[in-house]
Amino acid sequence: MKHLSTNQGPKLMSPRKYSQYSNKVVEGYIAELLADTVPTAYARTMEKLGKMLGEALARNICAKDLNLVVSTAEDADSLSKGVISALDQHQLPHKLAVFWNHHYQTGAGSVAPIVNKYLETGFDNAENIILIKSIISGSCVIKTNLLALINNVKSVRFIYILAPVMHADSETNLKNEFSSEIAEKFRFIYFVTDTVREDDGTVRPGIGGEVYDRLGLGGQPVNVGYIPKLVQDAMLQAS
């Protein structure tokens, strides 16, 4: 396992730990996330990382299983698009679920209630749930979105958590939020863990800041009325 130290000022120092799924190409893309300032370039890099996460996922799942791809609205047209392209390339069947979370801090911690959602018909028949997020700082968003699905997906065998970057404590924290019966189904696929987390939950160096700003969305999708093209296309195909 390789380590890389970044030095971008006192608040940004964090030993990066690369996972078994990483390689030199991935490391280059992760570095690009910190350098890209143009939203379209940032989104393209996220899509490339999504495809590589999808390739790693494809090596772990049964070809006959139905997969439920679960995305936040902000990640849908970049990271999640890349994951789906890998599933399509390997002819792995999938359904789509997209959530619009209102993510904010309270005195008791972070919350992310679901304000809107898109669930593709047949989502509840999935054997695998695949939760995708650009960065996992705590367990809030993943926990909220999984709880919204788990009671409806009766035959789930594995729950995959995909992210380019995670905080080093996120895996343990997420498992602690669920019963052992559910936690035992978790499988984590990520490229990097960081150890520095600021008071507002931002992981450093993470993915270079808040994904909403880096993607040029102008704020959380639920606040700006953003509908991902991925959802628009899925609704058009269903009509």
Q: Please indicate, yes or no, if residue 88 is contained in any of the structural domains.
A: yes
Q: What is the amino acid identity at position 172?
A: T
In this model, does residue 12 exceed pLDDT 80? no
Q: Is the pLDDT assigned to residue 23 strictly greater than 80?
A: yes
- The SS3 assignment for 81 reads helix
Residue 136 lies in a domain: yes
What's the rounded mean pLDDT across residues 204-230? 96
Q: Answer whether residue 8 shows pLDDT above 70.
A: no
Query: Taking 50 as the threshold, does the pLDDT of residue 5 lie above it?
Result: no
pLDDT tens digits along 139-192: 999 999 999 999 999 999 999 999 999 999 999 999 999 999 999 999 999 999
Q: For residue 50, is it within any domain?
A: yes
Could you tell me the pLDDT band of residue 9, with boundaries at 50, 70 and 90? very low
Our count of domains for the chain comes to: 1
pLDDT at 4: 37
In this structure, is residue 2 part of a structural domain?
A: no
- Residue 33 resides in a domain: yes
Of 13, 3, 50, the closest CA to residue 29 belongs to 50
What phi and psi values does residue 186 have, to the nearest 5 degrees? -70, 135
Q: Is the pLDDT of residue 24 over 50?
A: yes
Residue 160 DSSP SS3? strand
- Indicate the pLDDT class of residue 138, thresholds 50, 70 and 90: confident
**78 lies in a domain?**
yes
The residue type found at 180 is S
**pLDDT tens by residue, 95-129:** 999 999 999 988 888 899 999 999 999 999 999 99
What whole-number distance in Å separates Cα of residue 29 and Cα of residue 63? 28
Query: What pLDDT sits at residue 1?
Result: 37
Contact 208, 214 (CB under 8 A): yes
Is 4 within the bounds of a domain? no
User: From CA 156, how far away is CA 153, in angstroms rounded?
Assistant: 6
CA dist., res. 182 & res. 165, Å (int) = 23
Q: Say yes or no to pLDDT of 11 above 80.
A: no
Cβ atoms of 134 and 194 closer than 8 Å? no
195: domain CATH number? Answer: 3.40.50.2020
pTM for the model stands at: 0.93
Give the residue numbers spanning the domain of 218.
Answer: 14-238
pLDDT at residue 13 tops 80: no
**189 in a domain, yes or no?**
yes
pLDDT tens digits for range 29-65? 999 999 999 999 999 999 999 999 999 999 999 999 9
Question: What one-character-per-residue DSSP string does 37-79 give?
Answer: -SHHHHHHHHHHHHHHHHHHHHTTS-TT--EEEEEETTTIIII
Torsion of CA 148, 152, 153, 158, to 10 degrees: 40
